[in-house]
Amino acid sequence: MAKVLLGFMGSGKTTIARQLDSDFVDMDALLEGRLGMPIARFFEEKGEAAFRQVESEVLADLLKTNQVVSTGGGVVISQKNRDLLKENSDNIYLKADFETLYQRISADKDNQRPLFLKNSKEDLAAIFNERQAWYEEVASRVVDVARLSPEEIIEELR
């Protein structure tokens, strides 16, 4: 059974996964390797439906492992992915309010996310609000990370 970290961009999925297990799997990086190009480019060239199909295949494979998995923020968009996640008993939703996440994303100059660059703050808030219910739907555990340091989050998870 995989330990799956879920949440909107900026919630700390990759940071926490890296601290939980140095051999963690960054699902976005794995997808880019499988696609042979950046996710954003694949989206533009092949479309979202084609991407979600590959994403579901990768997720199904990862859920059969005992690894810590950092998912992409949009993994819950697909009903198929949500169904797969519901079969996994260790899904952790790293939850924070939109303003906190927006500030983190804005301040992160090393990781300029395409969704952030292409959307207004209002559009991002709408995306966040839509996804929040899906994260909660598949989560076996919810950790409010808005006011916690990465070390405190790790402590909470252990």
Tokens 């939703």 sit at which residue? 93
The rounded distance, in Å, linking the Cα atoms of 56 and 17 is 20
Asked whether the whole model's pTM tops 0.85, one would answer yes
User: Do residues 146 and 98 touch, judged by C-beta distance below 8 A?
Assistant: no
Among all chains, which residue has been given the structure tokens 């804005």?
Answer: 106
Contact (Cβ atoms closer than 8 angstroms) between residue 145 and residue 12:
yes
Alpha helices in the chain (DSSP H): 13-20, 27-35, 39-46, 48-63, 79-86, 98-107, 114-118, 121-138, 150-157
Local confidence pLDDT in tens for the 158 residues of the chain = 899 999 998 899 999 999 999 999 999 999 999 999 988 889 889 988 899 999 999 999 999 999 999 999 999 999 999 999 999 999 999 999 999 998 887 776 666 555 665 668 898 899 999 999 999 999 999 999 999 999 999 999 88
